[in-house]
């Protein structure tokens, strides 16, 4: 039996095994998708074990390893290098290659929300980790012009802005301090708000409910059995908002393609994910 693995810390909340296993089973592929909770100090050993496992076809990578794992691999492709984050590992013989499918996943989510309209030019991006890097790679080619980057540690936002400015000089990137009133001001001006932090997984939101208004587009990369607090507040204020499940499916389908060389059965994956989310709410829609 072959295996694909998800590395992260924590990973117990992840629903990737549900839809990835459904895809492998649908395609009659003898692959088992497994979770591995790996603390940062144990990551090198986990990758060494992956490299030595002849049955491992690859892996997914999630918080907090996306930005640090590349140095443990044999190579990273152009997109992963440009983004500065790896969320998928593909075995190529004895070599482990880093890829980034979050870019594909976020592009799918943004296209779903925009629905053929002109994307907003003013954006508030909350977070400066691997997910935020993938978001910026998409925004750079999606019509955005001015992007405020808010992060709890301002220096990380500044570092990200410098890195992206070098590759996308047409963007105006402004790191902003993590302060409630400043975030509220930035949110009011933004036509598109993206939360790329993990706060939604903990039932929290980086923005006060008064930060939203009708006409805004809002994406929370977090997802759960029910809408995240950020998504609920945005919708209540008249904004259009989605959580991270569309990005999750998009990046997972791209990873499946890379591992197997087959087109992912996206309808099967989406049905499995929605079923799992429904089960976690006790049957509530």
Exposure string for 79-100, b = 16+ CB within 10 A, e = fewer: bbebbbbbbbbbbeeeebbbbb
Is 66 assigned a catalytic role?
A: yes
Distance in angstroms (rounded) separating the CA atoms of residues 253 and 257 = 6
**Please, what sign has the CA dihedral across residues 96, 102, 105, 111?**
negative
Distance in angstroms (rounded) separating the CA atoms of residues 252 and 168 = 27
Peptide bond into 64 cis (omega under 30): yes
**Please, what sign has the CA dihedral across residues 284, 35, 267, 29?**
negative
Exposure string for 242-261, b = 16+ CB within 10 A, e = fewer: bbbbbbbbbbbbbbbebbbe
- Cβ atoms of 246 and 108 closer than 8 Å: yes
Q: Which of 66, 91, 99, 270 is catalytic?
A: 66
Distance in angstroms (rounded) separating the CA atoms of residues 89 and 208 = 37
- Residues tagged active-site: 66
């Amino acid at each position: 039996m072959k295996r694909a693995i998800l590395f992260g810390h924590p990973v117990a909340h992840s629903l990737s095994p549900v839809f990835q296993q459904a895809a492998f089973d649908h395609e009659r592929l003898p692959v088992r998708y497994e979770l591995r909770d790996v603390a940062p100090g144990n990551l090198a050993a986990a990758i060494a074990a992956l490299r030595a496992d002849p049955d491992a076809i690859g892996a997914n990578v999630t918080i907090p390893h996306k930005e640090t794992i590349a140095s443990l691999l044999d190579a990273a492709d152009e997109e992963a290098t440009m983004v500065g984050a790896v969320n998928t590992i593909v075995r190529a013989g004895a070599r482990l290659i880093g890829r980034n499918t979050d870019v594909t996943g976020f592009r799918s989510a943004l296209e779903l929300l925009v629905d053929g309209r002109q994307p907003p030019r003013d954006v508030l991006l909350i977070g400066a980790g691997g997910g935020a890097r993938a978001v910026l790679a998409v925004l750079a080619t999606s019509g955005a012009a001015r992007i405020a980057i808010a992060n709890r540690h301002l220096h990380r936002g500044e570092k990200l802005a410098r890195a992206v400015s070098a590759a996308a000089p047409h963007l105006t990137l402004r790191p902003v301090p993590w302060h409630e009133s400043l975030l509220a001001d930035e949110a009011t001006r933004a036509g598109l708000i993206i939360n790329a932090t993990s706060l939604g997984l903990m039932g929290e939101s980086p923005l006060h409910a008064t930060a939203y208004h009708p006409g805004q587009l809002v994406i929370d990369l977090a997802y759960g059995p029910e809408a995240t607090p950020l998504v609920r507040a945005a919708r209540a204020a008249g904004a259009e908002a989605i959580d991270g499940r569309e990005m999750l499916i998009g990046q997972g389908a791209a990873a499946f393609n890379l591992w197997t060389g087959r087109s992912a059965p996206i309808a099967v994956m989406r049905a499995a994910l929605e079923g799992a989310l429904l089960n976690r709410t006790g049957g509530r829609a």
